[in-house]
Amino acid sequence: MSNKLTCSLILLCTLSAFHPAAYAENSPADQVIISSGTQLAQLQTNIGVFEENVEIIHGERKILADRLEVHRREELGKNKQLLVATGSPAVFQERQADGTLLKATAKEVRYDVANRMLTIKGGAEISQAGQKISAQTIVYDMEKKLISAQRGEQEQNRVRTILLPEKDNSKQPQEKGNP
């Protein structure tokens, strides 16, 4: 099989990895851009492997990693993709509807596309709007907006949450001369 065909299969496998409508629409928002030092397709197992300074950009979503595996199999559900990013750390970022940036970092970041489930393991941190959770493992159900965090095996590896108070915009300074 030629290298061009192999690359095409990798890209087809990955194109729908972020958005089920990626095949139906051809707008720039559906475009997936993948940059890496190397790319490999394991055709028999339907796994695309990207290594060396991996960057994926899809609309408001970005993944940075040392290595990314894109698994595409029937048993994974209707969208059939599982992304497994590893790094020191691997990073998953997504701009939310309210304009805040969700950022997750860990040694391993797994994104189940069909279920919109983000699982981060190994020095895991997830932050949004100044709030941060650190733990050994964090699971975030992006549809239900539900986060579950687990500490490590050692007692000192406890779950840690930092909450920042909301700013009170009602106490804005008034201009001179105005009551």
Q: Answer whether residue 176 is part of any domain.
A: no
Q: Are 65 and 54 in contact (CB under 8 A)?
A: yes
Provide CB contacts within 8 A for 18, sequence distance 6+: 32, 56, 58, 59, 61, 113
Q: Answer whether residue 175 is part of any domain.
A: no
What does the pLDDT look like over 76-94, one tens digit per residue? Answer: 555 578 899 999 999 999 9
81 residue type, one letter: Q
Domains of the chain: total: 1
Q: Answer whether residue 23 is part of any domain.
A: yes
Domain carrying residue 12: 3-162
DSSP state of 114: T
Report the chain's mean pLDDT, rounded to a whole number. 78
Whichever domain contains 135, its CATH number is 2.60.450.10
Query: Is 82 or 20 the better-scoring residue by pLDDT?
Result: 82
Per-residue confidence at 13, pLDDT binned at 50, 70, 90?
very low
Residue 6 confidence (pLDDT) above 50: no
Distance (Å, whole) CA 17 – CA 46: 13
Q: Specify the pTM.
A: 0.73
What does the pLDDT look like over 110-130, one tens digit per residue? Answer: 998 888 899 999 999 999 988
SS (H, E, C) the chain: CCHHHHHHHHHHHHHCCCCHHHCCCCCHHHCEEEECCEEEEECCCCEEEEEEEEEEEECCEEEEEEEEEEEECHHHCCCCEEEEEEEEEEEEEEECCCCCEEEEEEEEEEEECCCCEEEEEEEEEEEECCEEEEEEEEEEECCCCEEEEECCCCCCCCCEEECCCCCCCCCCCCCCCCC
Q: Answer whether residue 168 is part of any domain.
A: no
Q: Answer whether residue 14 is part of any domain.
A: yes
